[in-house]
A and B are shown apart, each in its own frame.
Chain A
Amino acid sequence: MMSERELLKKLSVATNVKMPPDKQPSIWESIEQRMDYTRSFKRMRRPVRILGFSAAAAVLAAVVGGGVYLFSDHGGPSGAAIPQYTTGGSAPAPAFAIPTAIQTISMSSDTPARMMLPAKDPNSAEQNVLTWLRSATPYAGKVPESSNVGTLHGYMGPAQLNMVSTDGQAVSIEPASYLTKAAGGQIQVQYVQDVIVYSFGSEKMYLHAPELFAWLKNDEWKTEFGMH
């Protein structure tokens, strides 16, 4: 039988096992991104702690209400029609706050495990996304609700873009989609053409943004994001 001394000598070889050198920085990058993302949500929860839930909800309702009022087709006190929101040059500014500068940007993949992938060139990715967002317009159509597809053992849906602005606002963007159950129990992801969901905090807005939609839905983002 192998002696204890021989065994311990063998075990000591395993002490040299290390991560590949390129893996260490990429894992740290993922850790940082996860923390930045979580932190920004904590920051948004802070006003709720300071103001109290009711007051924060009232403020939120006022902001959302204002947004709805701005985009809805409504008449003034005298019955005179106020022009609807259009994409023309004289149109009012969108009610959603487009970040002016981005602190972090990453993609959550469309795989069941939802891997978080950093941008290879964050500046270029940020500029593209901000440009597409600036030309986005609110989408007034209806997005169908997902069918009851039961419990899914993994994520099923489109890839999602995650950003944290320099003022700590967390934003996520994904193509507008819903799940349907096809014949044979197959579950399908259906997309609303050219429409994206812009989420910040607990708010969601549907925006018409064809380029951003195509970039996300057609996996064009995959050339710009991934483990280094």
Chain B
Amino acid sequence: MNQQPVKGDGGSGPASSDGRFAKEEVQTKEAIRALYELYSNDIYRYARMTLCDSGDAYDVVQEVFVRALRSWPAYRQDAQVKTWLMSIARNYMVDLLRKKRTERRYITAAELPDVGDPSTAMDVVMEIQDALHQLKDNYRQVVILRHIENLSLQETATILGWSQNRVRNATHRAVKKLQEILSSTTGEVNIKHDVRA
């Protein structure tokens, strides 16, 4: 996942002819296509776990790569390309979440087949999603980025626009809160099992 498409000379100066425009467009498209192959599943997972809706997650994937195509000539490669894409996704989802706040969605069984990888333990994923949605937005973000996307402190800080210290503290608190949530859920399940027995 460390390989990055090489940028062409597209961003270095004004285009002088239609031929050059066409060449730059083809180069950009090829570069973004390569990024899509590498990172579209990561963007999907990030969106899916944040928004809890596969339809919205597909929209995010599409929008992120359209925006990446448009801003590729201005991308300065001073950030890891995955971090750059995740930042685009994060910014887009902030708007989406704001709009959706009034119509909070719940996980439904109908969404199950859309998660994709058949080897994934679906009950665990659903349990995690449900628990994540009981966290406040900031906590949910750090848990997804640090422990599901496995990004470093620095990468997470870049995506969220926070200091590394803030990421560290928020992650610590979020993990504690998540432990509490999941423990209480497990407890409820155990009690039900006891009653049945």
> What residues of chain A have their CB less than 8 Å away from a CB belonging to chain B?
1-4, 7-8, 10-21, 23-24, 27-28, 30-32, 34-35, 38-39
Do A10 and B40 form a contact, CB below 8 Å, given A16-B120, A17-B49, A27-B58? Answer: no
Contacts A14-B129, A18-B115, A35-B69 known; list 14 others, CB within 8 Å.
Answer: A2-B183, A10-B182, A11-B143, A13-B121, A13-B128, A14-B45, A14-B49, A14-B120, A17-B116, A19-B116, A21-B116, A23-B116, A24-B41, A35-B29
Residues of chain B within 8 A (CB-CB) of A20 are 113-114, 116
| Contact status A7-B178, CB under 8 Å | yes
* B139 beta carbon closer than 8 Å to chain A: no
Count: A-B pairs, CB below 8 Å? 98
19 A/B residue pairs, CB under 8 Å, sorted by A? A1-B180, A7-B175, A7-B179, A10-B128, A11-B143, A13-B120, A14-B45, A15-B45, A15-B150, A16-B119, A17-B48, A17-B116, A17-B117, A19-B41, A28-B65, A31-B65, A31-B69, A35-B29, A39-B25
| Contact status B175-A4, CB under 8 Å | yes
Residues of chain A within 8 A (CB-CB) of B29 are 32, 35
Partner of A19, one of B33, B40, B186: B40
Residues of chain B within 8 A (CB-CB) of A12 are 147-148
| Contact status B62-A14, CB under 8 Å | no
Within 8 A of A (CB), among B70-86: 70
| Contact status A8-B124, CB under 8 Å | no
